Structure 1
Amino acid sequence: MGLISEVLLLPFAPARGSAWVIRQVLHEAERIYYDPATVRAELARLEERLEAGEITEEEFDRQEDELLDRLETGMGGGAETGEGTAR
């Protein structure tokens, strides 16, 4: 397969390269999204918004639950996402 398949698949190289770039961008976005430090900072900002009266208690509870789920996933306690990019 080696050389012949590479020659035959050469016209598809840009598409394969684009797919690789998309996978890398997705991987980095998920890493940042589930990063425990990022989630903790968002939790702190959420609490500040509640104390400032910008959001209601119900909205705070809903968003806090979402952030805590992300934190659990990011720390390895939740279900894996994507290609196992949650850490």
Structure 2
Amino acid sequence: MEVKVSAGGRIVIPKEIRDRLRIKEGDRILLEVRNREIILKPCIDNPVNELYGSIPVKPEDSPKKVAREWVRRRLEKLDL
């Protein structure tokens, strides 16, 4: 998708993409440069805060099982 750079180097992330990734006003975006490419990713300010309480954990649940469930839910949230 092509976007135009405006004054001050600003670009607009199209609404279709913002909706798909659930990016809203005030969210922070991680910007990376790799081999002359610009990569934008939604930021997770503190992964612990994002995880806390999101998955009910029983004492018998292994950390691996909990991590897999978190990844599954995160990918579902990002619609991937």
TM-score (norm 1): 0.28
Which structure has more helix as a fraction of its residues? 1
* Larger radius of gyration between Structure 1 and Structure 2: 1
Which structure has more strand as a fraction of its residues? 2
